[in-house]
Structure 1
Amino acid sequence: MGVQSDLEKTVQIASNDSSENRRLRLESAPKEPILIEARTKLYRRNPDVVAKTLYRALGVCENCKAKAPFARKRDNSPYLKVHHIKMLSAGGLDCIENTVALCPNCL
């Protein structure tokens, strides 16, 4: 189980518990966070694939079809993120046919 999914699961459990039980746990809980070391693989993405996908989208989310909700500060371009349909880690290709431009609500 990943660290993020473990956190989500335990937050749900804590949310369902009583306020009093959470208070008692918090009184004795350490304040210093526990460091977890992780090794991660990253994929170097083709910037032309990203640029072409954003150009294709014309500022409109390719999932919900809504206009990008805001502009990037650096260049005032519509804020959409390019994601792979089949993840690179699952053998997906880094090509425009395997990408989609998404708004923050569809990420």
Structure 2
Amino acid sequence: FGNIRRTGRHLSQLPLAHRSLKLWGEAEKMLGRDVEFRATGHIRLIFDGGSLADMRAYAQAARPLGLELEELGPREIRSRFPGLGPAAIAASFSPHDGSGNPRLIAPA
């Protein structure tokens, strides 16, 4: 569906996910056409304490593998993403992830 994300991947998949992100970032230059890759970021919302602990553990384990995640609190979520509802207690944000258009890259 065009999502290019590293967040939430199994740790063993991160090297491949990093490579994929790099290739999408270079796709226009390599293919000679815009495939609509945009690094808009990827956010994962957290709604309970157990999920918050899991998010923090994942972020700590993923950091040595090259994935830096920002932890956002409720105030930061509302400030940066005002269209989201008030139920999230935290979020992780990966600013370099994004999306591309599979309908453009496949024929290219």
When the two structures are superposed, what TM-score results if normalisation uses the length of structure 1? 0.25
- Comparing both structures, which one devotes a greater share of its residues to strand? 2
By relative contact order (CA 8 Å, sep 6+), the higher-ranking structure is 2
- Comparing both structures, which one devotes a greater share of its residues to helix? 2
